[in-house]
Amino acid sequence: MSAPTNSPRPTRMSAPERRELVLAAASRAFARGGYAGTSTDAVAKEAGVSQPYVVRMFGTKAELFREVLARALTRIVETFDAELDRLTIDPDSEEFWAQLGAAYAGLIADQDLLLVMMHGFSAGGTPEIGAQARSTMSAIYTQIRTRTGCTPEKAREFIAQGMLINTMLAMRAPEHFDEDPALAELSACVFGGTLDAALADGIHLQDT
């Protein structure tokens, strides 16, 4: 008779951990295919679970996407809050805005997050998604205005720069900037010191 082993049993994932696993997989799937082009089956395959399991957990595809979009917004708001807690806030200082912008550009390392937000904005024709997308933009604008004390025009300028970053990522500009000198110049202006990170992540996306 063999002696009993002391090997630890595999730890079973908790319900919140399973939910986070599916949300992370959904972020990757929606970032690639957008809201209209991604099915709950595609999310299930990405997560390594069954499609009925995803439906039981989130209900509809719209509700799943809404949670993914909310997750992206939370990450962005927390990133800005952390930086605003650290910085000396001066809405008239270009250095202050450059530092705050660098915090947003740092999110390039997780392109899925920014692309999910873009897909949320472009799915505005779907009523429940459109309402949340508008709320997302409102939340970011309100955070910038109230925490920095800047003018509406400055908040618009700052958010517009962030949206340009998102647009360049959505068109995969960092992966193709060497094909067009004008695109290369614009990419350097948009990404600045984060261009290398964008390129590294772009290469990763091409390989997957």
Looking at residue 204, its pLDDT comes to 44
Find the mean pLDDT for residues 60-75.
94
* Phi, psi angles (nearest 5°) of residue 90: -145, 95
Residue that is written with structure tokens 């450059």 in the block: 98
Find the mean pLDDT for residues 96-121.
90
Q: Secondary structure of 179-197 in the HEC alphabet?
A: HCHHHHHHHHHHHHHHHHH
CA angle 157, 161, 165 (to 5 degrees): 165
Confidence of residue 155 (pLDDT cuts 50, 70, 90): very high
Find the mean pLDDT for residues 4-9.
56
43, 47, 48, 54 alpha-carbon torsion, rounded to 10°: -60
Highest mean pLDDT among 1-10, 173-182, 190-199: 173-182
CA atoms of 156 and 165, how far apart (whole Å): 14
Confidence of residue 208 (pLDDT cuts 50, 70, 90): very low
Looking at residue 195, its pLDDT comes to 57
pLDDT tens digits for range 191-205: 776 656 555 554 444
Looking at residue 1, its pLDDT comes to 52
Confidence of residue 158 (pLDDT cuts 50, 70, 90): very high
CA atoms of 30 and 157, how far apart (whole Å): 28
Confidence of residue 53 (pLDDT cuts 50, 70, 90): very high
Nearest residue to 178 via CA among 203, 149, 145: 203
CA atoms of 62 and 38, how far apart (whole Å): 11
- Residue 139: burial class (beta carbons within 10 Å; 0-12, 13-18, 19+): middle
Residue that is written with structure tokens 């873009």 in the block: 118
CA atoms of 61 and 36, how far apart (whole Å): 10
Cβ pair 117, 76 in contact under 8 A: yes
Query: Considering just the CA atoms, what is the radius of gyration of the chain in Å?
Result: 20
Find the mean pLDDT for residues 55-65.
95
